[in-house]
A and B are shown apart, each in its own frame.
Chain A
């Protein structure tokens, strides 16, 4: 299995621009999670989906952030307009919500720099 695939690995953009991060979960997994990691706040959950439906988006910082999961194999996290404080590493994770425990497997992340 290829694991969770995120793209791009690095993104550099200017303040005010739209940024779209992409995630392909592990095939067969039915839950998908978006996390953000910064030095100040560590790893924090932004939103998670179960069976393509957003379940908890309480971690989404503000209306500039939106996430979609149009099908079981693809999700996007969009920031519009981007700001320098959005600079962080964004991780996507997926899991199967059945069986012994619910292990989340993480992608390699997208390092976002907003200038």
Chain B
């Protein structure tokens, strides 16, 4: 599984877009990039995943660079409830997710 690197913390103003970067320079061709988040005391929540193309769902957008060495998770209009730790994970099969330390996003009123 690809090692991922994320900034330890970020702040975002409420209502603005939150852009969370992730470096995964060792990702292999068949490895998906997954994003999860964990709100305090809750189980990790799946957000989105992608392989090569950009992806969008009701929660977020995922932008993957053409060389697939990095990606950005975009929360288009951050709310206070988006305050959480966000994890970027590279994974191939059905095995475990290596969560790392993630990015602690704080949405500020």
Contacts and interface: CB of A to CB of B under 8 A. Distances in A.
Interface size bracket, B side: 10 to 19
A25 interface: no
Given A95-B94, A101-B32, A42 B43 contact: no
A102 interface: yes
A77 to B, nearest CB: 15
Main secondary structure of the interface of B (DSSP, over half): loop
A53 interface: no
A88 interface: no
B101 A42 contact: yes
A107 B43 CA distance: 6
Given A42-B101, A101-B34, A106 B95 contact: no
Nearest to A46: B96
Contacts of A109: 42-43
Interface of A: 4, 31, 33, 35, 42-43, 45, 48, 50, 56, 59, 91, 93, 95, 97, 101-109
